[in-house]
Amino acid sequence: METRTPAERRRLVMSLPPLRPADADVIAAFLDTTWAEGGLAQATLDGYRRDLEGLARWLDGRAGGLAGVGRGELFDYLAWRTRHGWSARSNARWLSALRGFNAWQLRRGDREDDPSADLDSPRLPRLLPRALAESQIEALLRAPDTDDPLGLRDRAMLELMYACGLRVSELAGLPSAALNLRQGVLRVTGKGSRDRLVPLGEEARHWVERYLAEARPVLLGGREAGALFLEPGGTPPTRQAVWRLVKRHAASAGIDPDRLSPHGLRHSFATHLLNHGADLRALQMLLGHSSLSTTQIYTLVAREKLKQLVAMHHPRG
């Protein structure tokens, strides 16, 4: 069965009965506690909310609603999600949200068992990050028309994403105050509200300076704005807008847009640094990974590249 797109999944959930007030209240209470205790990013909390609301709407009051859901209902709901095209990765995230919710209920004494205990996490394929070749990165960075204010903005955004390994959410919400051109560093607030300092590099610094001097005042139109990158009228771009501009410039650069996302620039940043001898611990700090094991996947990318080179060029490859 084909995996549904996020938009298709949202439409399917919207066709379910509306959320009951009791379920809405218990979800809100759980998220408030989770935010206060764990300091999770807003995007993570929003994902938890969507996942729990989807289950609550599907239940529509059965078994006492979300707070009283049992193992049988959870197995049926997981089967329903799988049948309607949710991916294994989406189901794994849903199960993570559910287990957090059930653990919170147990701590409060609202129930004595965890109905998700018998649910196995879906087996996820280990996907290697997809990085562009350095020549493709050069073509992508040259694609925007820098004689146009929006094109100059796009060039500065692409340069910064690649130079600093930014997530799309980090770039879209980047405040002007995070940029220190004198010292040549960028303060980035990543997942879990953790801050990191990332060097800009001379090329990125040059294009950001040009953007600030030539394009940003035009896009502001006399208004005030705290965000570094702006749409016409002075509002910051959404993550979807960043996604679209990356795809658009990829197509102009002769790169298949279906094979590139904004996160691909982050993967390229990490892979290219590692290929040029960067230390794995330093790369972990630059990417803002809380665990070195997350960063180590890029060593697998480098190994795969070496295997391909041997297969192509060794006489006995």
Report the pLDDT value the prediction gives residue 307, as an integer from 0 to 100: 56
**Cα(215)–Cα(207) distance, integer angstroms:** 11
Q: Out of 153, 266, 267, 272, which one is annotated catalytic?
A: 266
59 and 75 in contact (C-beta within 8 Å)? no
What single-letter DSSP state applies at residue 173? Answer: T
Report the pLDDT value the prediction gives residue 179, as an integer from 0 to 100: 94
- Respond yes or no: is residue 247 known to be catalytic: no
**Cα(170)–Cα(276) distance, integer angstroms:** 25
**CATH of the domain spanning 134-313:** 1.10.443.10
Domain with CATH 1.10.443.10 in the chain: 134-313
Report the pLDDT value the prediction gives residue 207, as an integer from 0 to 100: 96
Report the pLDDT value the prediction gives residue 125, as an integer from 0 to 100: 60
- Quick: pLDDT tens for 205-226: 999 999 999 999 999 988 888 9
Q: How far, in Å, are 58, 86, 95, 114, 153 from residue 118 at the CA level? A: 20, 20, 11, 9, 51
What single-letter DSSP state applies at residue 179? Answer: E
What single-letter DSSP state applies at residue 175? Answer: B
At the topology level, CATH places domain 6-108 in DNA polymerase; domain 1 (1.10.150)
| Phi, psi (deg, nearest 5) at residue 162 | -75, -40
Q: Out of 167, 205, 216, 249, which one is annotated catalytic?
A: 167
Q: Out of 298, 305, 314, 316, which one is annotated catalytic?
A: 298
- Respond yes or no: is residue 276 known to be catalytic: no
Q: Parallel, antiparallel, or unpaired: how do β-strands 195-199 and 185-189 relate?
A: antiparallel
Q: Out of 57, 249, 267, 289, which one is annotated catalytic?
A: 289
- Respond yes or no: is residue 289 known to be catalytic: yes
**Beta pairing partners, 185:** 180, 199
Average pLDDT over the chain, rounded to an integer = 85
pLDDT by residue, tens only, the chain of 317 residues: 567 777 888 888 889 999 999 999 999 999 999 888 776 777 788 999 999 999 999 999 888 899 999 999 999 999 999 889 888 888 888 999 999 999 999 999 999 999 888 887 777 565 555 778 899 999 999 999 999 999 999 999 999 999 998 988 889 889 999 999 999 999 988 877 788 888 888 999 999 999 999 999 999 988 888 999 999 988 999 988 998 999 999 999 999 887 777 788 888 888 888 778 777 787 787 887 777 666 666 665 555 554 555 566 556 55
Q: Out of 49, 71, 263, 305, which one is annotated catalytic?
A: 263
- Respond yes or no: is residue 263 known to be catalytic: yes
- Respond yes or no: is residue 249 known to be catalytic: no
Terminal CA-to-CA distance of the chain, rounded, Å? 38
Domain with CATH 1.10.150 in the chain: 6-108
Residue with tokens 């919400």: 173
Q: Out of 191, 210, 239, 247, which one is annotated catalytic?
A: 191
**Cα(82)–Cα(79) distance, integer angstroms:** 5
- Respond yes or no: is residue 191 known to be catalytic: yes
